[in-house]
Amino acid sequence: MIGRIISLPLRAAWFTLWFAGQLLTSSVSVIGDILSPGLAATPRVVRLPLGSAGDAHVTAISVLITLTPGTLVLGVVESERSGRTLLVHTLYHPDSGAALAALSDMDRRMTRAVRLRGDA
């Protein structure tokens, strides 16, 4: 636990740098699509399962997804059976599987960066 606390600033800084890269990459995609003839967008809505994630986790990942150009959290669906699920609108993923993989990767990286107990 002490090691996780000590490494928190480094993990948070690394995640911040990774997320800045994601912002840059997605911004270039959006700007490139705007400036080029035709549309490269493949809009879709996907469901990102978060299970029993708490309010702070749901809020944090929702903000990060919405800040990323080309993605927007539309809402949270709660179910007793499957827990919480985010409804996410994406523009530039080739298919639903790719969108879910990218969103799940962001969630996993965020969780790993801020978790104080256990492995994420």
CATH code of the domain covering residue 26: 3.30.70
Is residue 120 in a domain?
no
The answer to whether residue 119 sits within a structural domain is no
What is the count of structural domains for the chain?
A: 1
Residue 72 belongs to a domain:
yes
Element (H, E) at 104: helix 96-114
pLDDT value for 118: 61
Q: Which residue has the tokens 């969103």?
A: 103
Confidence check: pLDDT of 117 > 80: no
- What's the pTM value of the predicted model, to 2 decimals? 0.89
pLDDT of 119 > 90? The answer is no
Q: Report how far residue 107's alpha carbon sits from residue 17's, in angstroms, rounded to the nearest whole number.
A: 15
In a domain, 11, yes or no: yes
24 residue type, one letter? L
Do residues 71 and 25 lie in contact, with contact meaning Cβ atoms separated by under 8 Å?
A: no
Are 120 and 112 in contact by the 8 Å Cβ rule? The answer is: yes
Secondary structure letter of residue 45 according to DSSP? E
Specify whether the backbone of 51 is left (phi greater than 0), alpha (psi in -120 to 50) or beta.
Answer: left
pLDDT of residue 87: 98
Q: What pLDDT sits at residue 18?
A: 97
- Tell me which residue range forms the domain holding 35: 2-114
Question: In angstroms, rounded to a whole number, what is the distance separating the alpha carbons of residues 70 and 112?
Answer: 24
Answer yes or no: is 110 within a domain: yes
More confident residue, 101 or 40: 101
| Closest among 58, 28, 44 to 88, alpha carbons compared | 44
Statement: residue 120 has pLDDT above 70: no
Q: Does the pLDDT value for residue 13 go beyond 90? A: yes
Predicted confidence at residue 74, as pLDDT, reads 97
For the chain, give the percent of residues with pLDDT over 90. Answer: 78
In this prediction, residue 14 carries a pLDDT of 96
- Given a cut of 70, whether residue 59 has pLDDT beyond it is yes
Residue 37 phi, psi (nearest 5): -70, 145
